[in-house]
Structure 1
Amino acid sequence: MSAAHPGRPFILGLTGSIGMGKSTVATMLRELGVPVFDADAAVHQLQGPDGPLLPEIEAAFPGTTGPEGVRRAELGAQVFGNPEALKRLEAIVHPAVARLRNAFLIEHAGQPLIVFDIPLLFEKGHGAGLDAVAVVSAPPEQQRHRVLGRPGMTAEKFAQILALQVPDADKRARADFVVDTGVSLDQTRQAVGNLVEQIREKNRR
């Protein structure tokens, strides 16, 4: 974990593999008054109805947008398994997300702590500018139970997703903090509260 930075927020990256409870932890952080920037929500905003990226995405990938925003099935069909197409899409989306993240940082510049919720933090190398990283983790059997309980999820899909993600053990090894969601909600909430207080105290010095 980096030293405190007087005059600017401590920036904590929040990540975790599928089914680990990252969204639950992000909600707990918001309940504690911590501003949380949700990268996935930003992408949905940019690509949803009347999203500012729709014209550029349509130009690069014809037939993939409509009044409802990006047509994910059509876009996925053009991008999946095509590294060059994926790079073109990321070149459109990533800078726009970065602009929203910078605006969020400016908006909350007076806070002692802000969180960037980044699902693919390690996978896509999005750790630049962070002071520390917290990984949300749970035992494999709990992760599997949660994910397979989602509508439309199959064991095959779950295996494919896991194959694309950095293994949980590697994420925990690279993390500054690990938030365990394999315990009760109250225990996780207590751990999140302790983490927030630890960072806020460090940044007050």
Structure 2
Amino acid sequence: MTNQSQHKPFILGLTGSIGMGKSTVADMFRELDVPVFDADAAVHILQGPNGALLEPIEAAFPGTTGPEGVDRQKLGAAVLSDRAALAKLESIVHPAVAQMRADFLAENGEAPIMVFDIPLLFEKGGADTVDAIVVVSAPADIQRARVLARPNMTTQKFDYILGLQMPDAEKRARADHIIDTGVSLEETRQIVQNLVTKLSPPLA
């Protein structure tokens, strides 16, 4: 059988608000040999030492880059409370990330399932680019405790970030699948395993 569709991966869009455990879930997919494209990791590469975006970012936001790449604190301060500046930064970053994602898709085209780990999947209009959406979620009190335990995180910064993100309840309502991280790691891992088993094509 040489059905063309057998060679097109089923693409899962993995998303979730800050502190919901999305990175942990992404690692669980990797443990099951599911290729995962990490949009945040792509940004780190593009903005790291000798990164492709250092020159345009420095031109747009002078003083925010150096030999080690983008100074994330300086760049964050430049865009944190300025939506126009944030939009300007995104116009630089998003096309480059999209190209890296296209390259990743081409390199892993034989995989039956692939995950695109995209934090702002709903907010930036990427939901139509995937075959199904997985939302990682946990109770609000667990989310808040996780985020506020991070270095350099403040309640003000957390509330601002939440304001930029679609509410968790709305994400859950729009999800095709929900992965709960408010339970034990073993339980979450079983949810991920069950989903991969469900979506995997039957063996020929």
With normalisation by structure 1, the TM-score equals 0.91
Deviations 1:154-202 (A, max 9, x none): 3332222222211111000000000011111111101100101111137
1: CA distance, partners of 2:80 / 2:14:
26
2: CA distance, partners of 1:95 / 1:165:
20
| C-alpha deviation, 1:59, in angstroms | 2.0
Please give the secondary structure, in 2, of the residue aligned with 1:11: strand
Partner in structure 2 of residue 164 of structure 1? 164
Identical pairs, percent: 65
Unaligned runs of 5+ in 1: none
2: CA distance, partners of 1:172 / 1:138:
11
Deviations 1:99-128 (A, max 9, x none): 100000000000000000001111221223
Letter of the 1:9 counterpart: P
Letter of the 1:48 counterpart: G
1: CA distance, partners of 2:195 / 2:121:
19
* Number of positions where the alignment pairs a residue of Structure 1 with one of Structure 2: 201
| C-alpha deviation, 1:149, in angstroms | 1.9
Deviations 1:61-98 (A, max 9, x none): 22221101112233234333433333322221111000
Unaligned runs of 5+ in 2: none
Please give the secondary structure, in 1, of the residue aligned with 2:27: helix
For residues 1-205 of structure 1, what are the structure 2 equivalents within 5 Å?
Answer: 5-201=5-201
| C-alpha deviation, 1:143, in angstroms | 1.3
1: CA distance, partners of 2:24 / 2:126:
21
1: CA distance, partners of 2:186 / 2:135:
18
- CA-based RMSD of the aligned residues comes to 1.8
Distance 1:27 1:69, change over 3 A: same
Distance 1:162 1:60, change over 3 A: closer
2: CA distance, partners of 1:73 / 1:190:
37
Distance 1:160 1:84, change over 3 A: closer
2: CA distance, partners of 1:84 / 1:142:
32
With normalisation by structure 2, the TM-score equals 0.91
2: CA distance, partners of 1:87 / 1:133:
25
Deviations 1:115-142 (A, max 9, x none): 0000111122122320000000111121
| C-alpha deviation, 1:7, in angstroms | 2.1
